[in-house]
Homo-oligomer: A and B are copies of this chain.
Amino acid sequence: MDPLQAHIRQHLETYLEDLKRLLRQPSVAATGEGVEACAALVAELFAQAGAQVEVLRAPGAAPLVVADFPGPGRTLLFYDHYDVQPPDPLEEWVTPPFEPTVRDGKLYARGAADNKGDLVSRLAAVRALVAVRGGLPCRVRFLVEGEEEIGSVHFERYVREHRDHLAADACIWEFGARDMKERLHLSAGVKGICYLELAIEATSRDLHSSLGAIVEGAAMKMVWALASLKDPQTGRVRVPGFYDRVRPPSPQELEAVRRLPFEEEDLKRLYGVERFIAGKTGADAQYDLYFMPTCTVCGLESGYRGPGSKTVLPRRARAKVDFRMVPDQDPEEIARLVQEHFAAQGFPEMQVQLLGGERAYRSPIDHPFVQLAARVAGEATGRQVLLQPTSAGTGPMYPLGTTLGIPIVSLGTSYWDARGHSPNEHIRLSDWEETIGLMARLLERFGEEAW
């Protein structure tokens, strides 16, 4: 066995103690519980490993931890976050969410997969390299934020204000999973998001539904307005201008997606659907998944929702709608277009509030760093690697990537059943050990290769 791998195996319990310490510390961004204490603990873990640590602060924001490990030549940046999703429903956890527990080679705790496991695997790789090789092959910088689970509210501001301090040559992003066929997924980008809260008030109060002969209620108005957002046959968003800025995929991106497997029938079984939107199949559905923006009604509420019947003409209706966006769509512009669309459809009274907006980001998939990460991931793990030009999901890559002007690729420790955001979140310890080795190897190769 390679001495580096041997060292990692030998010291796995030590690294695991770091991870368990971090997992025992709640850090729920949505409620603020433990966020300050967790930032302090992250800073302490890095300092103990020999990093120079700075904790950046902005008014009303969770602390941003920046940790630097010295090394020659170029700088590799790791983006991680120390905050986690709320742990509820608590009763569905087999062991308590903030008491990390190993069962059957798996480590259970809130944050194990998203994203404390990643964070500590990367720190462990640094520790192993320093111990075995006597130093790092490049400079390594960690950027660990505390608001990822609530839309990275202050992240862009931090990045812009500290751009010189954060400079790097490339970045490894926070997530990355092994799929049901044990292939390793890397993403060179993310979709953006425009998350809207909609509200409509139709009458001065709830009315008796017998008045429905002459007065229209809020529920029906909301239904008509929402129905107008998307064509049920084609799945196309009907908001004028919505697709105007959609940047078509590059030939390289298109080719990368064509190379990706798409196990259509498996997916349909998993999701419990008989067909995909607009009846699309194969390459067409796959194209939409990676390259097209979406429109999803995430929540809906009006009138009486208890058991049995209540004959009410509801005063108010509310809805939550998200649009996953592709480059170069702008969340604020989309919010405005939606508002204008509702007015044109006869619902000028619809209140549209932008709850969260992030832009999409894609690194050039043929960038030498992206290709290097994919190659090393395959060599270090022996796994088949699927390199996606973008994830279908969202993260704050845009402010970092555009401000620093660097390529970013996502690569991590998770797997298909890790249950991030859900009860019994966990990682497989074998994946975790594998990822530590993979990250150490990537740092070495990053130090060797130029572009």
* A292 neighbours in B (Cβ, 8 Å): 213
In contact, A285 and B214 (Cβ under 8 angstroms): yes
19 pairs, CB–CB < 8 Å, chain A vs chain B: A193-B311, A203-B272, A209-B322, A209-B324, A212-B322, A213-B324, A216-B277, A219-B319, A222-B300, A223-B300, A296-B311, A298-B311, A298-B314, A299-B314, A300-B302, A300-B314, A303-B320, A304-B320, A309-B320
Report how many residues on chain A are interfacial, defined by Cβ distance under 8 Å: 76
CA A317 to CA B298, docked complex, whole Å: 11
| A215-B277 contact, Cβ under 8 Å, with A223-B226, A230-B220 | yes
The interface stretch among A19-27, A58-66, A164-172, A387-395 is: A387-395
Question: Which one, B280, B299, B313, contacts A302 given CB within 8 A?
Answer: B299
Number of identical monomers bound together in the oligomeric complex: 2
CA A227 to CA B346, docked complex, whole Å: 14
CA A191 to CA B311, docked complex, whole Å: 13
Q: Of residues 333 to 353 in A, which have CB atoms within 8 Å of B's CB atoms?
A: 346
| A304-B298 contact, Cβ under 8 Å, with A215-B273, A277-B215, A393-B208 | yes
In contact, B305 and A301 (Cβ under 8 angstroms): yes
Chain B residue at minimum C-beta to C-beta distance from A227: B227
- The 8 A CB mask of A215-251 against B (1 = contact, 0 = none) is 1110110111011101010010000000000000000
In contact, B309 and A298 (Cβ under 8 angstroms): yes
* A324 neighbours in B (Cβ, 8 Å): 209-210, 212-213
* A203 neighbours in B (Cβ, 8 Å): 271-273
CA A345 to CA B210, docked complex, whole Å: 27
In contact, A308 and B392 (Cβ under 8 angstroms): no
Chain B residue at minimum C-beta to C-beta distance from A420: B208
* A51 neighbours in B (Cβ, 8 Å): none
Residues of A within 8 A of B (CB): 30, 150-151, 191, 193, 195, 197, 202-205, 207-217, 219-220, 222-224, 226-228, 230, 232, 235, 270-273, 276-277, 280, 285, 288-289, 292, 294-305, 308-314, 317-320, 322, 324, 346, 355-356, 391-394
In contact, B313 and A320 (Cβ under 8 angstroms): no
Question: Which one, B195, B232, B302, B314, contacts A311 given CB within 8 A?
Answer: B195
* A355 neighbours in B (Cβ, 8 Å): 308-309
In contact, A227 and B217 (Cβ under 8 angstroms): no
Tell me, rounded to whole Å, the shortest Cβ–Cβ distance linking A294 to chain B: 4
In contact, B310 and A298 (Cβ under 8 angstroms): yes
In contact, A297 and B217 (Cβ under 8 angstroms): yes
CA A383 to CA B308, docked complex, whole Å: 39
In contact, A299 and B289 (Cβ under 8 angstroms): no
| A289-B214 contact, Cβ under 8 Å, with A273-B203, A309-B151 | yes
